[in-house]
Structure 1
Amino acid sequence: MRTEHVPSRRAVVSGRASGVLVVLAVVLGAAFVLAPARLAGIGTRSGPYARRALVDGLIPAFVSYWESGDRRVPADLQRLVDYWCRFHVVKGVLSAALLIVLVALAVRWWRAFLRPGRRAGGGVAVAAAFVSVLALVSLAALMANVQGATAPFSSLTSVLPLGEPHGRLADAVGQIEQGLAHHPGAGGRNAVVLDAMVDDFGRYHAVLAVLASVVAVALAVLGVAAWRRFAAADRSEVRMRRTMGWFGVLSVLLALMVAVVAVANAGTAADPAPALLGFYQGGM
């Protein structure tokens, strides 16, 4: 006599919860791509900026700021900087929310895969691994957007066409390169503007150095926890030992990679002028 397997109430609830998390992840991922410019433009006269319009507005505002010789950012440039800050804040909030959802989903699926007595699970492991990779991407996006929101001026200048500048922008970039080559001894009426740009660029990299240091420590802690689970598991728990062993190795490798990023950005923050020169020369 054949009996039908009826899913338990707990399994049904767990499946629904996973489904809700998947839907949330899709919605947040779409919002991360489509919503930031619109949300950042709410309450402003200009509204959201298209990429071309942002560049077209930034070039004359940036050149005017450089030529002014005044450390204070003029209103037209400040408006763009404020917009860019809000843009990164929105993306940061969305990436943080997406990270939380993806971590929750990955934890659920890894636990399901490692549940004692579970025979199958290859598909669950693949899905959990894929979501874990997406969580790392979301973490990187969160770090980048916190960096951009903290130093929006330096972030905003990355959209300037520095590879092939023309007209007044080319003249300004040439003067900036000359000033950076002799910084901090460069004089002239633009020296205070150059100092402000160097300070902001240093802050831009200092923020990433701090964030990367925190993430590196967190990954190292996760790696140690995974190795402790590996060591505590019975030898008969092959799936648990194998998974925790891979978690431990990958976490430590990622921690080392992120630590390198932290050290590199800390060095740039300590002496930002050479890196900023490379940026204006099109090397970054």
Structure 2
Amino acid sequence: MSVPVAPSRFGRALGVLGALAVVLAAAFVVVPPTLAGDFADERDLREAFREAFVEYWRSGARDFSPALESAVDYWFWYHVTKGVIAALLLIVFVALGVLLWRAFLRARGLDAGRNVALASSGMIVTALGVFSLLAVMANVQGAVAPYASLLPMLTGGDTDGELAETLDQVRQRLAESLSGGGETPALAVMISDFSLYHVAMAVIAAVVAIVLLALNVVVWKRFARATDTRARRVSGSFGVLAALSSLASIVVVVANTTTAADPGPALSALFDGGW
């Protein structure tokens, strides 16, 4: 009678992490709208936000109306929930990546098919990790400045009637502001939050760039010390990825810092449909 072979630690860890990734990926889509508030979906939010924005703009007040506050609060919690889930996904994908790439480095005696499977899985998980990081960054930005994050919902699709009239007024006020004119309280709030939106991304991208630069140093040191060809290839590949990613992050820092310092033109472009 044969004795069943217990699954390896690698197999168990791979199964657990894979299952966690699937659950979290589903939660990333399903959970945020449920936890964030009362809006049925993004279309419902868009309609409510547009109506609330028209009311708020016409009031001339600085403080949000209750309807607008409700939409902004929903969007804040929506991004917080998505950001937390994306961060958990990132942790899972990092753990999966470490597991797979270590297995690949140790799989020198295995057949070519197993090596290809490990390398391919490692690359897919690495790409998913990058996407998770981008999701974390975007959702932190949206949580920091949810009002500015909602503004693109004003310009897409049907903008007839009162909304079209209100958007024309916004464009006119923005043009006057850019030419040295005064700002209404509602416009001042919009410009301030739009600037904060880009400050947030500049800070987030700067932190990511610092982490990636530190990772780059570690990876290239390992590359220099490695004597095995496979280890050098893996270290070199991650070194190139980290270097390119850090450069991209620095570009994002510069672009968002520039916009935050002078948000008017970018905000005007948003309402003109070119942002």
Task: Decide: shared fold, TM above 0.5.
Answer: yes
- State which of 142, 147, 151 in structure 1 corresponds to 2:141: 147
Q: Is the 8 A contact 2:212 2:242 kept in 1?
A: yes
The count of corresponding residues between Structure 1 and Structure 2 is 269
- The one-letter code of the counterpart of 1:259 is I
Report whether the alignment pairs 1:122 with 2:116: yes
Secondary structure (helix, strand or coil) at the match of 1:183 reads helix
- The one-letter code of the counterpart of 1:105 is L
- The one-letter code of the counterpart of 1:216 is A
Instruction: String of CA shifts for 1:56-110, please: whole Å, max 9, x gaps.
Output: 2111210111111111001111011101111111101110111111111101111
- State which of 76, 80, 91 in structure 1 corresponds to 2:71: 80
Q: Is the 8 A contact 1:40 1:87 kept in 2?
A: yes
Identity %: 47
Report whether the alignment pairs 1:113 with 2:93: no
Instruction: String of CA shifts for 1:157-181, please: whole Å, max 9, x gaps.
Output: 2222446521111111111111112
Aligned equivalent of 2:181: 186
- The one-letter code of the counterpart of 2:190 is M
CA distance in 2, matches of 1:153, 1:228: 44
Aligned equivalent of 1:282: 273
Report whether the alignment pairs 1:175 with 2:169: yes
- 1:132 CA displacement: 0.6
CA distance in 2, matches of 1:144, 1:95: 10
Runs of 5+ consecutive residues of structure 1 not aligned to the other structure: 42-46
Once the two structures are superposed, the pairs formed by residues 43-122 of structure 1 within 5 Å of their partners are 47-115=38-106, 117-120=108-111, 121-122=115-116
CA distance in 1, matches of 2:106, 2:205: 33
- 1:206 CA displacement: 0.5
Aligned equivalent of 2:222: 229
CA distance in 2, matches of 1:20, 1:48: 34
CA distance in 1, matches of 2:250, 2:158: 34
- 1:118 CA displacement: 4.3
- 1:117 CA displacement: 4.6
Aligned equivalent of 2:249: 258
- The one-letter code of the counterpart of 2:90 is L
Runs of 5+ consecutive residues of structure 2 not aligned to the other structure: none
User: Deviation above 6 Å: which 4+ runs of structure 1?
Assistant: none
Q: Is the 8 A contact 1:163 1:282 kept in 2?
A: no
